[in-house]
Amino acid sequence: MNNLPKHIAIIMDGNGRWANNRHLPRLAGHREGANAVQRTIEAAQKFGIKFLTLYAFSTENWSRPQDEINGLMDLLSKTLDTYTAQAKKKNYRLLVSGARDKLPPAVLGKIDKAVQITAQNTGLTVNLALNYGARQEIVHAVNTLLAQGKTNISMEDISAHLYQPGVPDPELIIRTSGEERLSNFLLWQAAYSEFYFTPVLWPDFNAEELQKALNEYARRTRRFGGI
């Protein structure tokens, strides 16, 4: 396939509605969402994508009921084990973007282990946006630069001090579930991203849906302000 994005970022939305449609608890939707993550990673790898950023938990998601948060953290802790094992087998690298504060120690331990164990892998890079907020990320970058004594900050400086400076800006951002907003995701990096919105709920997302997004992306003309 030609005109393939190097980096795809996905706002994985609609787990709650998927569960609701089936009269199931919201957590059942999150569990099915974790299976969709697995499928999407495999599909991205098959299509030859280099970077895949997945928005798993936002800084605003702490405002959800405590039992949903606990369920999500529990699920995350379990799926991190699965992803780490898969990553080792399939040669993909795991990165995490976000703040460490508020995350339970069990999750932090698993994140560190996953990142460390897969650091040398050369296949797809999966960047999990976890406890992630784009405004917080930019403020964090600026504060890091100030702490280094910088007084004149360039765009390159900010890019170099984001959570994952080695990950290029995404050419394509996908959001599922019919919502058409960024919800504090990659505000800096999305300056010239193409957007693809689909009504498909995240737990129903699969290789075919990813292919549709890639086909649409391939048809777009990116001008970057030129003509």
Q: How far is the C-alpha of 173 from the C-alpha of 160, rounded, in Å?
A: 21
* Token couple for 131: 């406890």
Binding-site member from 5, 14, 133, 170 for ligand IPE (CB under 6 A): 14
Residue 183 as a binder of ligand IPE (CB under 6 A): the answer is: yes
- Minimum CB distance to ligand IPE, residue 63 (Å): 9
Q: Is 20 a catalytic residue?
A: no
Rg (CA), the chain: 17
Sheet holding 93-97, edge to edge: 93-97, 125-132, 51-58, 7-11, 172-175, 194-197
Q: Does 98 bind ligand IPE (CB under 6 A)?
A: no
Chain positions 137 to 156 lying near ligand IPE, rule: CB under 6 A, are none
Q: Does residue 79 bind ligand IPE (CB under 6 A)? A: no
Nearest approach in angstroms of CB 64 to Mg ion is 10
Residue list 53-72, contact with ligand IPE (CB under 6 A):
55-58, 61, 72
Picked from ligand IPE, Mg ion, none, the partner binding residue 11 (CB below 5 to 8 A depending on kind) is ligand IPE
Residues numbered 12 to 71 that lie near Mg ion (CB under 5 A) are 13
Q: How many CA atoms lie within 13 A of 169 on its CB side?
A: 13
Q: Is 201 an interacting residue with respect to Mg ion (CB under 5 A)? A: no
Let me know: does 170 contact 51? Beta carbons within 8 Å.
yes
- Range list of β-strands (E), the chain: 7-11, 51-58, 93-97, 125-132, 172-175, 194-197
- The phi, psi pair for 148, rounded to 5°, reads -85, 0
Q: Give Cα separations from 24 to 15, 18, 189, 204, 215 (angstroms).
A: 11, 9, 36, 15, 33
Check residue 15 for interaction with ligand IPE (CB under 6 A). yes
Per partner kind, with CB cut-offs from 5 to 8 A, the member of Mg ion, ligand IPE, none near residue 189 is: none
**What does the block give as tokens for 26?**
């919201």
Q: Is residue 205 at the binding interface for ligand IPE, with CB under 6 A as the rule?
A: no
Is 67 annotated in the active site?
no
Residues at the site binding Mg ion, with contacts judged by CB under 5 A: 13
List the catalytic residues. Answer: 13, 61
Q: Interface with ligand IPE by CB under 6 A: which residues?
A: 11-17, 55-58, 61, 72, 177, 179, 181, 183, 202
